[in-house]
Amino acid sequence: MGVNRVLLVCTGNTCRSPMAAALLAEKSDQLEVKSAGLQAFSSTSAAPHARIVVREYGASLDQHRSQPLTISLLEWADEVWTMTDSHAAQIQQQFPHYAEKITKLGDVSGYDEEITDPIGGDLDDYRRTAEQMNEMLEAYVKNRS
């Protein structure tokens, strides 16, 4: 059985992982997509710039509320995609039983890149991050077809 459930993970679950999740969900109705953060507080809205940029791609983060990474989310996921190698290493260290599920988004999509964190940046920083992720996600979906 292929990948059907993807969990995207970043630090705070207000910028990168929810943006990537929203973009991926728009690209494929064959995937269930969730996001979480390694240092996330529960129920924080997505960053305002993240909401704006995702809308530019036809997706929405209006209902997004941050959530911390949990064992139940790791169990739910077929694959866990992180934004950086550091995120992947941290999850593998904290949850070694799930190490085989964890991959950096850049590696999954055939790119050897980390996703730049736009937190604290301006709208153009968020647009650059979204463009980087969108390109990777399009490559993944195309290769999956």
What are the structure tokens assigned to 143, written together?
Answer: 């290769």
Catalytic (active site) residue 107: no
- Our answer to whether residue 10 is catalytic in this structure is yes
For residue 15, indicate whether it is catalytic. no
Structure tokens at 129: 């991050």
Neighbours of 127 (CB within 10 A): 16
Catalytic residue among 117, 125, 127, 128: 117
Q: Rounded to a whole number, what is the largest CA-CA distance in the chain?
A: 41
* Angle (CA) 115 92 77, round 5°: 75
| The two structure tokens encoding residue 87 | 């995120």
Rounded distance between C-alpha atoms, residue 21 and residue 17, angstroms: 6
Residues recognised as catalytic: 10, 16, 117
